[in-house]
Amino acid sequence: MKRSTPRVRAAACGSLLAVGLGFGLAGPVQAVGATCATACTAPATDGGVAPQNVVSTAHLTERAAAKAARAALAAAVAAGQRVSVAVLDRSGNPIVVLRGDGAGPHTYESAQRKAYTAASFNAPTSVLVGRLEQTPTLADIPDTLFLAGGLPIRYQGSPIAGIGVAGAPSGLQDEQFAQAGIDALGH
């Protein structure tokens, strides 16, 4: 097995530290950074994984997901609409799902599928609807729903979650409510 040089391992550790600090994770990452010199120059003997074999990603907090979902639901209620709102992580796992008072039974799953579709394709579902005309087999991807009302939630340009709203008379109105949820995260 070919080993990387200490210089390469140190560069990888520095990159990990920089990425972590970029995400505002000063506490835990500084602890990693403080021990990085020894961890990166010595082979992993404790069964752990060497830093160059790890990718760090950003995740939306439960608190932020709840804030976005509540803001989207409030926008819908203010417009007299009965909807469900879902915020899913990039992998499609629900973080928060709210079924508004009087929302139809189909809206709960539809909101989740819109959120997943937007996050996994990193595009609003209203835009993705047009892609079906050229590639109709996109609709065969499990758990996706190509109806307007889903938006990706991005951090530094990359999708970290998706928000989906379902139940308004039009998908474009659902999308406006989803945007209200995202807008709430900018504060």
Q: What is the overall mean pLDDT for the chain?
A: 83
Q: Fill in the DSSP letter of residue 3.
A: P
Phi/psi for 48 (5° steps) reads -80, 175
Mean of the pLDDT values across residues 137-156?
96
How high is the pLDDT of residue 56? 86
- Nearest by Cα to 148 from 71, 106, 169, 88: 169
Share of the chain above pLDDT 70, in %: 75
Q: Map residue 28 onto helix, strand or coil.
A: helix
How high is the pLDDT of residue 36? 45
How high is the pLDDT of residue 26? 40
Q: Which residues have a Cβ under 8 Å from the Cβ of 77 and sit 6 or more positions away? A: 100
pTM for the full predicted model: 0.74
- Nearest by Cα to 65 from 179, 187, 142, 163: 163
Which band of pLDDT confidence, cut at 50, 70 and 90, is reported for residue 8?
very low
Q: Which residues have a Cβ under 8 Å from the Cβ of 163 and sit 6 or more positions away? A: 68, 69, 72, 85, 86, 87, 115, 118, 150, 151, 153, 178, 181, 182
- 68-120 per-position pLDDT tens digit: 999 999 999 999 999 999 999 999 999 999 999 999 999 999 999 999 999 99
End-to-end CA distance of the chain: 49
Residue 124 has pLDDT above 70, yes or no: yes
Residue 27 has pLDDT above 90, yes or no: no
Around 186, how many Cα atoms within 13 Å sit in the side-chain half-sphere?
5
Per the model's pLDDT, the better-predicted residue between 36 and 102 turns out to be 102
How high is the pLDDT of residue 148? 97
How high is the pLDDT of residue 44? 52
Per the model's pLDDT, the better-predicted residue between 158 and 8 turns out to be 158
Distance of CA 135 to the CA centre of its chain: 25
How are strands ordered across the β-sheet holding 158-166? 94-99, 84-89, 158-166, 150-155
